[in-house]
Chains A and B, each alone.
Chain A
Amino acid sequence: MRRRIQAWLNLAYRFNRHVLVTLPARALRGGDGDLFRAATAAEGLLPLLPAERALLPRTMRCVHCGLCAFVPPPGPPEPYSAWQEPWTFVGGEARALDRAALAAGTAAMVARAADADAICPTGTAISGAARMITRLAAAAERTEESAP
């Protein structure tokens, strides 16, 4: 009988704590999804927008032929790295990309990607991927700046 009373008291305590503490605290700090995003965003892993998720299958058409690498960059022929070539970020999208290196050539990359769409034999969504990568790079940069 004593054990049964203890069990009921424990249950009542847990119920009250759940209603009075856990639920309000969760409402204040956000749900599990927000917690997860906060934890991963700090590492530069940001959620995709619905439109970006819809675009992903078209970015997977890339066969890494490299033809888009010969779309000339805008402006004078200054030396540039492979990070500014469309096939680097499309082909490497599923891998670990150095977004900071990509972000350094953002303007040139996006401008070239628009022309690269026309040259791609498999119809890969190069310009869409460029916009997505640059958005993620910029968002990750903001997250890093605001991190403690």
Chain B
Amino acid sequence: MPELPPMSTSPDVLVLGGGAAGTAAALAARSAGATVTLVRAGPGATHMCAGGWNAAPPAPFVAALEAAGHPLRTAAGPLPHPSGWLRHDPLAAAHHAGARLDGGTLVAGIAGLPGFRAAALAALWADAAGIDLLRHATLALDRTPAAGWAPASLAAQLEQDPALLAAPLAGAVKSAGASLVIIPVVAGFDPSPRLLERIAEQAGATVVEALGMPPSLPGLRLGRALDAALRSAGVEVVEGRAALEGAGAQTGAGTSHAVIVTGDGAARSTARTIRFGRCVLATGGYAGGGIRAEPELREPALGCAVHVEALGRLFSSAEPLLLTAPDRTASQPLLEAGVHTDGDGRPLREDGSVFSPDVYAAGAVVAGAAQRVHGLGDAATAGWAAGLRAAR
């Protein structure tokens, strides 16, 4: 890929959002030879992922992740989730992909770690997989705080001292005669599975992680890998919140666009204007910060009209009783709120006209996407396609 001049203030393609869709769009546009600036406000829905990929993303995107030390692998079987069910993702991060449920599998929990009860999960996973009961063990680690472990704290401790887990795990493996151990997601923050491999080596068995749940270490690892992929592709990354300059004005093809990027925290007082040719909006849905409810529902970056797909109408104000379903496991209309797009993925105005011929939307910011795009693979695929369109 061609080298970018530092701190480009007028890229060919501006990408808003740094999750799976936004990063894929930036890498795709870059691979097509465009200069790309990516603006992101912080971690979003991608950083909450469980570790599985619901579909295979484009091969160059997978290669970029591999080069960033975060390989995706074909799942050995249904992937166990700490909620007690199995997910049938075709791909997963290498930390999780090797999980399989059979007679040689040991489910190992950690005393004091919330959200992973080995005995219950072994029974639930065995039931879901239609096999006899899985063996299970709960490991007591040294230095466990009186009130139990925070997952992030345990991950930090294991990065310094893998033997903290490997030593009791070796004992459990020996007494159970297990060939594969499924542990909760605690093997460090690094995108690569090196720490897990070290623990496995010391424990004397293959060790894999179950899928994760918030607070999501798989999401943090993926975020770091996406970061590295953007850097190595020469994409300029700007931290801050973007807002369209002159929002609400009619924008035609070829007209000049600009966003004002305001930093967060200490950099809040600094603002920067970025002019761009085309833009990919991939800021995520409500959970990712791309749709705000303050209390009116709005899309803060470009000011696109927000729809709630499940209710079939445009929403200018949030009505909590309509936007949330009492059944917490049901699809939540608020999480489905987003922009409507035409056949080419361009956001539409309230009257159905195209917001701008130079703007494309991808990922969870598209209304109803959270229901349709139930995973990273589809988000990255949509982002990649939007990035190529924008660079065309």
Contacts and interface: CB of A to CB of B under 8 A. Distances in A.
B287 interface: yes
A67 B152 contact: no
A61 B335 CA distance: 12
A81 B284 contact: no
Given A63-B287, A67-B47, A121-B42, A84 B150 contact: yes
Interface in A92-134: 101, 104, 115, 118-123
B43 A121 contact: yes
Contact of A122 (B114, B215, B287): B287
Contacts of B42: 67, 118-121
Residue picked from B143, B145, B292, B294, most chain A C-beta under 10 Å? B145
A54 B47 CA distance: 30
A65 interface: yes
A64 interface: yes
Nearest to B189: A70
Contacts of A84: 150
A115 B42 CA distance: 12
Contact of A65 (B48, B153, B293): B48
B214 interface: yes
A122 to B, nearest CB: 6
A90 to B, nearest CB: 12
Interface in A134-148: none
A66 B216 contact: yes
A84 B149 CA distance: 10
Contact of A77 (B41, B157, B214): B157
A81 B150 contact: yes
Nearest to B294: A123
B215 A81 contact: no
B147 A83 contact: yes
B152 A85 contact: yes
Interface string B145-183: 111111111101100100000000000000000000000
B289 interface: yes
Contacts of B45: 65, 121
A81 B145 contact: yes
B147 A81 contact: yes
B28 interface: no
A33 to B, nearest CB: 29
Contacts of B215: 65-70, 85, 87
B287 A79 contact: no
A70 B147 CA distance: 18
A36 interface: no
Contacts of A123: 289, 292, 294
Contact of A69 (B148, B150, B294): B150
Given A64-B214, A65-B48, A121-B44, A81 B286 contact: no
B220 interface: yes
B150 A85 contact: yes
B248 interface: no
A23 interface: no
A79 B292 contact: no
A8 interface: no
B152 A121 contact: no
Contacts of B265: 115, 118
Contacts of A73: 153
Given A66-B216, A118-B264, A81 B157 contact: no
B216 A80 contact: no
Given A77-B156, A87-B215, A82 B114 contact: yes
Contact of B148 (A65, A82, A122): A82
A79 B142 CA distance: 10
B116 to A, nearest CB: 12
A79 B157 CA distance: 7
Given A66-B214, A123-B294, A79 B289 contact: no
A83 B284 CA distance: 29
Residue picked from A64, A66, A120, most chain B C-beta under 10 Å? A66
A64 B143 CA distance: 27
Contacts of A64: 214
Residue picked from A65, A115, A118, A121, most chain B C-beta under 10 Å? A121
A12 B157 CA distance: 77
A121 B45 CA distance: 9
Interface string B318-342: 0000000000000000010000000
B149 A82 contact: yes
A77 to B, nearest CB: 5
B45 to A, nearest CB: 8
A83 B114 CA distance: 11
Contacts of A77: 153, 156-157, 160
5 contacts: A65-B287, A70-B220, A81-B112, A121-B43, A121-B45
Given A65-B215, A101-B147, 16 more contacts: A63-B286, A64-B214, A65-B287, A67-B219, A70-B152, A70-B220, A79-B145, A79-B149, A80-B150, A81-B146, A85-B215, A121-B42, A121-B43, A121-B44, A121-B45, A122-B287
